[in-house]
Amino acid sequence: MKGLLSKYKKLDRSKEQADVDEEQAVKRARVAEKDISAHDKVEVAFLIIGAQKAGTTALVTNLNKHPDVFVKNECQFFTFCWGFGSGWYREQLRTSKGVVGEKTPEIIYCDDCAPRIQQVCPKAKFILCIRDPINR
């Protein structure tokens, strides 16, 4: 949790800088949307979420060994990169493999993520990795 809070503190910026960043993100999103044709769009099958030190990285490593599965590690789209747009997100997940997933454990701590996930990939399943906090 401490690492997550430090990430959010780094995002604390002046309003002017945030407006400039948002404009740039919107421009990048428009370009990315134009670059991706309908047949290149990726259907996200699952999202790996969970606690720190709960085995999410090991899960990604083992899933990526399968020839038909691709899992993107720490894309952070739903938490920190939302302003880049769904075109940017789909570009991050572009692959020739049949099943596509993403691992971002911090999604479990962010209230804004659930509606964003519903909007971008409504059919995605969740894989929740948890661990006894005392042992962690």
The DSSP secondary structure of 42-55, one letter per residue, reads --EEEEEEE-TTSS
Cα 89 to Cα 16, 65, 72, 80, 86, distances in angstroms:
25, 22, 11, 12, 5
Q: What is the pLDDT of residues 64-101, one digit of tens each?
A: 999 999 999 888 899 888 999 888 998 898 888 889 99
Q: What is the pLDDT of residues 17-62, one digit of tens each?
A: 555 566 766 666 555 555 444 434 568 999 999 888 888 899 999 9
Q: Give me the half-sphere count of Cα atoms (radius 13 Å) on the Cβ side of residue 59.
A: 23
Q: Does residue 128 have a pLDDT over 60? A: yes
pTM, full prediction:
0.66
- The predicted pLDDT at position 54 comes to 87
Higher pLDDT, 20 or 120: 120
Give me the mean pLDDT over the 124-131 stretch: 91
